[in-house]
Amino acid sequence: MPVPIVSQVFTEGLDSVPFLYPVLKALPWLALLYVVKRFFSGASNTSERNMHGKVVMVTGGTSGVGQAVTQELAQRGAQIVLLTQHALSDPFIVEYIDDLRTETGNQLVTAEQVDLASLHSIRTFATKWIDNAPPRRLDVVILCASTLTPRGSEIKSTAGEGVEVNWMVNYLANFHLLSILSPALRAQPPDRDVRILFGTCNSYMAGDLSHITSNSPPQPTKKPSKRAPNSKPASPGTFSPSNAHATSKLALTTFALAFQKHLSSYKRPDNFPPNSKVLLVDPGMCRTPGTRRYLTFGSLVGLLLYLLFYPIWWMVLKSPTAGAQSFLFAAMEERFTRSEGGVLIKECDERGLGRVEECTDEECQRLLWGYSEQMVQEAEKRGAAFRAKGKKEKEERKEEVVAEEEVREYKEKVGKKEGGKKEGSRRSRKVG
């Protein structure tokens, strides 16, 4: 016990207590590690809000920061609607929801299958959501889903619709989803505090939207190569694994501010002021699957190095729970009820937005909005043609299988197999 040990030190000296010197030497280092860990863990949310009865829609809520946000809000009694790419009968999502309900004691946790890599899937869900009278309740929309192509990898596009994956999941899916849900958000009662939280990160500072603002189409790079020291930088509007993620986040930031203007410009029939707020949230660098994929370059060698240096990552990177604090602050802080929205939240506090002149420029926002609408239309046409082709091929294969089955049944009926007489027939028995 501490008291006898202290008494022994005073009566018999330090040497009488075994291993006391090593412990005293280690204490300053342990204290330093604790301070460093606390520093990199960031701020904690101290705001509280009654979340019982509030409907919260979450993307990316099955892993990383999104999972931590979902669990925290479910514990506070919110009704959670998870948008997941998994089929609702998938054992993973069934077990995940059961565990979440059990851990939080909240049975109001449901899921909807929405593949953010498919505009058709998003439209199917969103149109079904808004096709309701009166409009369904929706208090908070949290957009946590994100993807990242590792450096050195080739650019990938979504199947059928042909949209670059980073651009699709990080930006265009959110644009498409909110564009359709916009009437449901604006139709919420005037006493309801509606918030839309966009997950972003500092990478948007390196984004490039010149291929949109200059009306020149981007040129995808098929095989990224290392630039020579004296070579010129990549031309604006060129998609590559190194800037695709940053460009998608810059587009998301610009759209978020434009969407706030879109919501605020709506004149309600009851003449009450708009009650929907857009908030940008930067959770910081966290130990999530996306960060791990970025640090490991998507390779086994990189994963091995990541595991070897894991103590460093554990020290300097936030846990998903620590990263969720800014989202919780944005969802529950009281002062945002009276805010006009369009602010950036980082470390549970309002921060200045980088590249603010570009992100708030109305002409840039208009061009991005029009470019996105046109891209959605063209991608949905390609997706419809792809699905029609797949359906036709499936029907043709089905017809071929049916025809083969009919031929097989006919051969069995007449006693033939592969053109010969069936063994054991009447004629063969007679000859025998």
- Look up residue 432 and give its amino acid: G
pLDDT value at residue 228: 37
Helix or strand run (H / E) with residue 182:
helix 173-186
Active-site residue flag, 413: no
**Tell me, what DSSP letter sits at residue 14?**
G
Examine the domain organization and report whether 144 and 263 are in the same domain: yes
pLDDT in tens, the chain (432 residues): 566 766 766 676 666 667 666 777 788 888 888 888 888 888 999 999 999 999 999 999 999 999 999 999 999 999 999 999 999 999 999 999 999 999 999 999 999 999 999 999 999 999 999 998 888 999 999 999 998 888 777 778 888 888 999 999 999 999 999 999 999 999 999 999 999 999 998 888 888 888 887 755 444 444 444 443 333 333 334 556 668 888 999 999 999 999 999 999 999 898 998 899 999 999 988 998 888 888 888 788 888 998 999 999 999 999 999 999 999 999 999 999 888 888 999 999 999 888 888 899 999 999 999 999 999 999 999 999 988 988 888 888 888 888 888 888 877 777 654 555 555 555 444 444
Which residue from 202, 359, 340, 355 is spatially nearest to 282, judged by alpha carbons?
Answer: 202
Q: How many domains would you assign to the chain?
A: 2
Which residue from 64, 36, 61 is spatially nearest to 322, judged by alpha carbons?
Answer: 64
Examine the domain organization and report whether 94 and 168 are in the same domain: yes
* 100, 110 contact by CB (below 8 A): no
* 218, 211 contact by CB (below 8 A): yes
The answer as to whether 419 is a domain residue is no
Which residue from 79, 75, 187 is spatially nearest to 134, judged by alpha carbons?
Answer: 187
Examine the domain organization and report whether 154 and 247 are in the same domain: yes
CA angle (300 as vertex; 294, 304 as ends), nearest 5? 85
The answer as to whether 369 is a domain residue is yes
The answer as to whether 363 is a domain residue is yes
The answer as to whether 408 is a domain residue is no
pLDDT value at residue 226: 42
Alpha carbon of residue 91 to chain centroid: 21
**Residue 12: burial class (beta carbons within 10 Å; 0-12, 13-18, 19+):** exposed
The answer as to whether 412 is a domain residue is no
Examine the domain organization and report whether 68 and 191 are in the same domain: yes
pLDDT value at residue 374: 93
Question: Two tokens at 355?
Answer: 């590249």
Examine the domain organization and report whether 186 and 107 are in the same domain: yes
Examine the domain organization and report whether 279 and 345 are in the same domain: yes
Query: Which CATH number covers residue 65?
Result: 3.40.50.720
- Look up residue 384 and give its amino acid: A
Q: In whole angstroms, what is the distance from residue 303 CA to residue 218 CA?
A: 32
348 contact partners, CB below 8 Å, separation of at least 6: 42, 43, 44, 45, 46, 47, 325, 326, 329
Question: Two tokens at 103?
Answer: 């851990």
Examine the domain organization and report whether 335 and 254 are in the same domain: yes
Examine the domain organization and report whether 248 and 373 are in the same domain: yes
Examine the domain organization and report whether 144 and 14 are in the same domain: no
Q: In whole angstroms, what is the distance from residue 36 CA to residue 315 CA?
A: 7
Which residue from 287, 268, 288 is spatially nearest to 276, judged by alpha carbons?
Answer: 268
Which residue matches tokens 């004629």? Answer: 427
Examine the domain organization and report whether 350 and 209 are in the same domain: yes
| HEC sequence for 319-361 | CHHHHCHHHHHHHHCHHHHCCCCCEEEECCCEECCCCHHHHCC
Q: In whole angstroms, what is the distance from residue 60 CA to residue 69 CA?
A: 10
The answer as to whether 329 is a domain residue is yes
Q: Please tell me which residue in 222, 226, 232, 430 is annotated as part of the active site.
A: 232
Which residue from 65, 50, 323, 58 is spatially nearest to 193, judged by alpha carbons?
Answer: 50
DSSP β-bridge partners for residue 199:
281
pLDDT value at residue 132: 86
Task: Print the domain residue range for 7.
Answer: 2-41
Q: In whole angstroms, what is the distance from residue 289 CA to residue 281 CA?
A: 19
**Residue 361: burial class (beta carbons within 10 Å; 0-12, 13-18, 19+):** middle
* 176, 122 contact by CB (below 8 A): yes
Examine the domain organization and report whether 72 and 146 are in the same domain: yes
Q: In whole angstroms, what is the distance from residue 76 CA to residue 60 CA?
A: 19
The answer as to whether 267 is a domain residue is yes
The DSSP result for 28-45, as a single string, is HHHHHHHHHHHHHH----
Examine the domain organization and report whether 88 and 26 are in the same domain: no
The answer as to whether 226 is a domain residue is no
